[in-house]
């Protein structure tokens, strides 16, 4: 089984063509020798070489699969995390109970170490409802509701897959007691018989759920039947789920269970592209109007981000359908997963933050907590609408093609087909006329012949046949225009909002709460935020962790009192665990409602920053506030 650091090496190399050992060592805070040792281990764990070394270029990942997940049970767990995962996984999938006095020999660890691992497991299980690690005499076992245990199963299997959900062979390996491929074929046959379509991206998570259900039922762990009448049995989804379990029970020795059928029904309802259509639904003791909920959410997004999506009818329809299925899933204590959750958080931080804000507005109306996965689905709806809104601010392009007009027309059609969401061709000319072009004020000129002029407008020479090189040049030119739009704003914002009083070059802390408390206290003492700000930042962190895999966290809130805008920076002497990731850089945002534009500019920069480990390493090496600011602004200019 690979260690967390070794898995991170593979993840970093997936995003880079080549990286030198010194660069990897700097990113991970270890020596070159440790990197060499880790890479040797990675290559030994996989079936064949996984990482290629070159004296000049460094290291290169030549095969995605590391086999770390499959190898995990064939060797003795080495780290505390590996031992803890072994104990929990064994209790979930293999044995009902474990003998404490046999574990030290099995895991090559002392009884004191095993007892410490058990204590850590108990703390970790508090996030899974009433699931707990029980102990009597020499034996330990898992107690709690079956639904909560399955949530724990899913999280553990997700971790083993390392987000490689689309690789069916990897998923099959997680269920050795039955043939998941045959199960998949049975499900697809039934879906086809009912002419029922689900989104292709939903199938991996649906199979994950079904695999866990069958695995648990094989060990005689069934969901508890509840007498719930909400019209489910009248739906086509219920017919599909009933037929599926009837056929599967003839292939695999499990009993048909009504609660399992209802759960699969709800998952199908959540993963299909449509749901119930009534405007009012009952939740608790109240009737809720779905359109009113959507209106509240979009009003809140507009208030917080100055992004007005309220007139987008497509967004409203999509959000209403999603909220209906969300309410049904909550009623049945069912969770659905979004395989793109991490991608949304990392690559589109502003969009995810809009999803968080919409979810918090929804929570206030419904009085229950919305999961990170549900938040990411809301973010997808909002992100699509945001892209549609941005298209109204397209770059204006002038085409100058003195050649054959039929070829020019086909070239124009290709350009519009490829870049129509970002540009608008406002004029097509045969010759360059300076006065005419000045009146049009274009952002970009495309010409089939070389042009020399003194207008401050970028100009590209492209062929009439629009090859891949032409596409690449246009794409790069548009990206430069994007950067030019926000670069000046960003640099002014950074220089004005990062101040020496709020810069911590060598912060030491035991946990994320201590970091946030230290940073918020100074902002409060200096009169930048109110006393409620610290509490609200913690509340936002509980909704969804703000840490990123590159090693930094972005705590913030839009609920607390901000009197003057500021950005507080902390560079930790030692990385600490923050959510899922080890964090060494903390950026605390204190932005007022009137400064939403600053927030959008900052998130534009963040979307590029989070994907570049080298840029991150350059930044945390700057322990002087002025050098820190210069490093950020220089990176933005590149």
Bridge partners of 142?
133
Q: Which residues have C-beta within 8 Å of that of residue 330, sequence separation ≥ 6?
A: 283, 366, 368
Task: Kindly state which CATH superfamily the domain 280-325+335-390 is placed in.
Answer: PRD domain (1.10.1790.10)
Residue 66: per-residue pLDDT: 37
Q: In terms of Cα–Cα distance, which of 598, 592, 594, 638 is closest to 615?
A: 638
What are the residue boundaries of the structural domains of the chain, listed by start?
6-66, 71-142, 155-271, 280-325+335-390, 394-466, 488-637
Would strands 498-507 and 395-400 be described as parallel, antiparallel, or unpaired?
A: unpaired
Q: In terms of Cα–Cα distance, which of 228, 193, 198, 194 is closest to 210?
A: 198
Separation of alpha carbons 183 and 541, rounded Å: 39
Would strands 459-461 and 444-447 be described as parallel, antiparallel, or unpaired?
A: parallel
Separation of alpha carbons 53 and 60, rounded Å: 6
Q: In terms of Cα–Cα distance, which of 610, 581, 500 is closest to 602?
A: 610
Its CATH class, for the domain covering 6-66, is mainly alpha
Kindly state the tokens that stand for 5.
């650091």
Tokens 């709460």 -> residue: 513
* CATH for 394-466 (3.40.47.10, 3.40.50.2020, 3.30.70.1450, 3.40.50.2300): 3.40.50.2300
Separation of alpha carbons 625 and 630, rounded Å: 9
Separation of alpha carbons 616 and 124, rounded Å: 30
Residue 387: phi and psi, rounded to 5, are -65, -40
Q: In terms of Cα–Cα distance, which of 480, 461, 479 is closest to 469?
A: 461
H/E element holding 583? strand 581-590
Torsion angle, alpha carbons of 515, 521, 526, 528, to 10: 80
pLDDT mean for each 10 residues of the chain (638 residues): 77 78 81 85 66 80 49 54 83 83 80 86 82 87 82 67 50 77 90 82 75 84 66 84 93 87 80 48 68 90 84 81 76 64 74 88 84 85 77 79 76 85 84 86 89 89 83 84 69 84 92 93 93 91 83 86 91 88 89 69 72 75 88 66
* Three-state secondary structure of 264-329: HHHHHHHHCCCCCCCCEEEECCEEEEHHHHHHHHHHHHHHHHCCCCCCCHHHHHHHHHHHHHHHHH
Residue 73: per-residue pLDDT: 36
Kindly state the tokens that stand for 537.
């930042």
DSSP 87: H
Separation of alpha carbons 131 and 143, rounded Å: 5
Length of the chain: 638
DSSP 577: E
Residue 517: per-residue pLDDT: 94
Q: 235 vs 219, 238, 512, CA distance in Å?
A: 30, 5, 46
Residue 71: per-residue pLDDT: 36
Kindly state the tokens that stand for 444.
């970009």
Burial classification of residue 28, based on how many CB atoms lie within 10 Å of its CB (0-12 exposed, 13-18 middle, 19 or more buried): buried
Q: 82 vs 78, 89, 100, 249, 619, CA distance in Å?
A: 6, 10, 17, 34, 32
Same fold yes or no, 280-325+335-390 and 488-637: no
CB 446 within 8 A of CB 460: yes
Separation of alpha carbons 397 and 427, rounded Å: 7
Give the burial string for 569-584 (b: 16+ CB within 10 Å, else e): bbbbeeebebeebbbb
Q: Which fold has domain 488-637?
A: Mannitol-specific EII; Chain A (3.40.930)
Cα distance between the two ends of the chain: 40
Kindly state the tokens that stand for 613.
């480990």
Q: What are the DSSP calls for 35-76, one per residue? A: HHHHHHHHHHHSSS--EEEETTTEEEE--S---HHHHTTTS-
Q: Which fold has domain 71-142?
A: Arc Repressor Mutant, subunit A (1.10.10)
Number of H helices, E strands in the chain: 26, 16
Separation of alpha carbons 227 and 442, rounded Å: 65
CB 324 within 8 A of CB 275: yes
CB 363 within 8 A of CB 369: yes
């Amino acid at each position: 089984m690979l260690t967390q650091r070794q898995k991170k090496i593979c993840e970093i190399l997936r995003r880079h063509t080549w990286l030198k050992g010194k660069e990897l060592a700097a990113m991970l805070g270890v020596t070159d020798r440790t990197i060499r040792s880790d890479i040797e281990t990675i290559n030994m764990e996989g079936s064949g070489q996984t990482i290629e070394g070159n004296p000049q270029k460094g290291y290169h990942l030549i095969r995605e699969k590391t086999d770390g997940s499959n190898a995990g049970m064939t060797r003795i767990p080495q780290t505390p995390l590996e031992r803890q995962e072994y104990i929990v996984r064994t209790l979930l999938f293999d044995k009902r109970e474990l003998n404490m006095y046999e574990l030290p020999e099995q895991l090559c660890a002392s009884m004191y170490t095993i007892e410490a691992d058990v204590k850590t497991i108990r703390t970790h299980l508090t996030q899974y409802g009433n699931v707990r690690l029980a102990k009597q005499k020499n034996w330990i076992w898992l107690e709690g509701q079956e639904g909560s245990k399955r949530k724990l199963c899913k999280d553990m299997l997700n971790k083993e897959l390392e987000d490689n959900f689309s690789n069916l062979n990897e998923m099959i390996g997680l269920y050795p007691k039955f043939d998941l491929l045959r199960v998949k074929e049975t499900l697809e046959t039934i879906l086809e018989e009912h002419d029922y379509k689900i989104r292709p991206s939903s199938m991996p998570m649906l199979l994950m759920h079904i695999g866990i259900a069958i695995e648990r039922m094989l060990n005689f762990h069934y969901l508890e039947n509840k007498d719930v009448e909400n019209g489910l049995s009248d739906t086509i989804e219920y017919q599909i789920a009933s037929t599926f379990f009837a056929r599967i029970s003839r292939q695999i020795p499990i009993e048909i269970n009504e609660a399992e059928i209802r759960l699969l029904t709800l998952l199908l309802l959540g993963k299909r592209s449509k749901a119930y259509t009534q405007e009012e639904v009952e939740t608790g003791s109240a009737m809720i109007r779905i359109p009113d909920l959507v209106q509240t959410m979009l009003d809140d997004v507009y208030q917080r981000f100055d992004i007005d999506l309220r007139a987008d009818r497509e967004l409203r329809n999509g959000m209403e359908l999603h909220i209906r299925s969300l309410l049904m899933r909550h009623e049945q204590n069912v969770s659905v997963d979004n395989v793109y959750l991490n991608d949304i958080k990392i690559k589109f931080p502003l969009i995810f933050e809009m999803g968080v804000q919409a979810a918090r507005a929804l929570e206030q109306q419904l009085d229950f907590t919305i999961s990170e996965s549900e938040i990411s689905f809301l973010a997808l709806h909002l992100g699509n609408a945001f892209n549609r809104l941005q298209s109204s601010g397209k770059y204006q392009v002038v085409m100058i093609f003195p050649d054959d007009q039929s070829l020019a027309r086909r070239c124009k059609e290709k350009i519009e087909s490829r870049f129509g969401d970002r540009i608008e061709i406002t004029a097509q000319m045969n010759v360059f006329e300076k006065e005419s072009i000045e009146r049009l004020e274009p952002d970009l000129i495309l010409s089939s012949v070389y042009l020399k002029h003194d207008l401050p407008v970028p100009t590209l020479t492209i062929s009439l046949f629009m090859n891949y090189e032409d596409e690449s040049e246009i794409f790069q030119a548009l990206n430069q225009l994007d950067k030019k739009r926000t670069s000046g704003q960003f640099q002014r914002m950074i220089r004005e909002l990062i101040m020496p009083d709020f810069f911590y070059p060598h912060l030491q802390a035991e946990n994320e709460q201590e970091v946030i408390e230290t940073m918020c206290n100074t902002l409060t003492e200096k009169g930048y935020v109110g006393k409620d700000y610290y509490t609200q930042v913690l509340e936002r962190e509980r909704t969804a962790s703000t840490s990123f895999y590159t090693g930094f966290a972005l705590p913030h809130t839009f609920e607390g009192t901000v009197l003057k805008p500021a950005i507080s920076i902390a560079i930790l002497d030692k990385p600490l665990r923050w959510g899922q990731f080890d964090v060494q850089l903390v950026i605390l945002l204190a932005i007022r409602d009137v400064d939403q534009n600053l927030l959008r500019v900052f998130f534009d920069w963040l979307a590029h920053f989070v994907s570049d480990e080298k840029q991150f390493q350059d930044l945390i090496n700057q322990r002087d506030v002025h050098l820190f600011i210069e490093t950020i602004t220089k990176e933005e200019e590149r």
